[in-house]
Amino acid sequence: MGDKKMANLEAIQKLIERIPEIEKSFYSADIGFFSSYDWKTRQRKTSTMPCEMIYKSPNFMAWRDELVCELSKLKKDAFIEEIIYLCQHFSGLGDRNKFDKRIWG
């Protein structure tokens, strides 16, 4: 028999209960999304867009990695795979919308 670790459902529950705390890890940042050149002033102009990000927050990264690790031990189904996918695809742009989906909550 293999030595596959069993998921700790209590650990998963505790991680889920931490969602309100983790949500406080969001921070605002401006993302450059369009660059142009102003021929009159001979300067490059970069337009930015304010975004709420979480993906680089150490608190979020540790929580996400722990959650994905525990979920990976569960029997795979579409629901679990969707949560794992969402957790692993935070990139700065759209983080708030991804987090607010709250599939796990």
Q: What is the structure's pLDDT at 2? A: 42
**Could you report the per-residue pLDDT of 12-44, keeping only the tens digit for each?**
999 999 999 999 999 998 877 677 888 888 888
Tokens of 60: 């979020």
DSSP for 56-101 reads: T-HHHHHHHHHHHHHHHTSPP-HHHHHHHHHHHT--STTHHHHHHT
Instruction: Quick: pLDDT tens for 38-72.
Output: 888 888 888 888 889 999 999 999 999 999 999 99
Q: Domain ranges in the chain?
A: 9-26+55-100
In whole angstroms, what is the distance from residue 39 CA to residue 4 CA?
63
Confidence of residue 3 (pLDDT cuts 50, 70, 90): very low
